[in-house]
Amino acid sequence: MEAKPNGQNVLCRAGEHAVTLEHMGRFRQLVWEMGEKHRRDGLPWRFIDDPYQVYVSEAMLQQTQVSRVLKHWPRFLAAFPTVDALASASVSDVLEEWQGLGYNRRALALKRAADECSAKHGGCMPDTYEELLALPGIGPATAAGIMAFAYQKPGIYIETNVRSVFIHHFFPDSEKVTDSQLRPLVECACDGDYPREWYYALLDYGAALKAQGINPNRRSTSYTRQSSFEGSHRQKRSFVLQQVLAQPGVGFEALLASINEFERKAGRDNLLECELMALVEELVSEGFFEREGDGFVSR
């Protein structure tokens, strides 16, 4: 790491180190070269300027393997080809199409964002970072990703692979690197003319590092090891949701019987009534389904 804290060519800082124009120039050149070398041309959501389609891809790619998204992205868009189509769909239909991707909250976030875009933005995704960020479920990374990939507008886009590249090069010996340390680097490294291609290069380079067994993201404060799905609270939530989607109006006793049969087959103890009730109330409060008479239905 070069350190010239008083030099006129200092561009930004990485922790205690000053990053010079020369250093950043070499870094950019390396990213372009490695991005070209490891370019993933088979990703269908690349080089499209439809912000809705980009948003769907960004939502799906969070915490989900690319290979799985490749199967679900075209299918989801075939079912809901536009913002208005998604907004007019039922929650149950959206959740049905989402099955297999996990983390169902992302599907609800997509639906709620589409509802707002349809009601307030004429069925279009906003074209400013601030308006995107104001939509339900869209955070800084997703908003910056939509701006870069759909609108060719530079911004601070930090996700797992991007984070890995910057930690690998600017914090090679550091632990617990924060995104606040990375933001000035990501911002000044971004190519203002070709942000879409720049971030594609970073994503592909970061994916290549991981494929080589190099995972600097583990030294980020944002890194959390994903817990096992088998037997987890997430699995129980998913099971209950699938039962409600498959059997609209299913009652509490039937849910209790089916989930306990599932648990016993897996060699686990039965759920108590109070445990299932807490889980059901959790799903109802989040909007996955609602009570209707003595049963539960997803709208």
- The pLDDT averaged over each successive group of 10 residues in the chain (299 residues) is 55 81 94 97 94 98 92 97 97 95 94 97 96 96 98 96 96 92 95 96 97 91 80 91 92 94 92 93 92 90
* Residue 290: per-residue pLDDT: 93
- Give yes or no for a contact between 61 and 45, defined as CB atoms under 8 angstroms apart: no
Global pTM reads 0.89
* Residue 84: per-residue pLDDT: 98
Residue 58 falls in the annotated catalytic set:
yes
* Residue 4: per-residue pLDDT: 44
Task: Out of 58, 97, 159, 197, pick the active-site residue.
Answer: 58
Q: Which of 48, 91, 92, 90 is nearest to 73 (CA)?
A: 48
* Residue 5: per-residue pLDDT: 47
Task: Give start and end residues of each alpha helix (H) in the chain.
Answer: 21-37, 51-61, 66-79, 83-88, 91-98, 105-120, 129-133, 140-151, 160-170, 179-189, 195-211, 233-246, 252-265, 273-286
User: How far apart (Å, rounded) are the C-alpha atoms in residues 261 and 255?
Assistant: 10
* Residue 18: per-residue pLDDT: 85
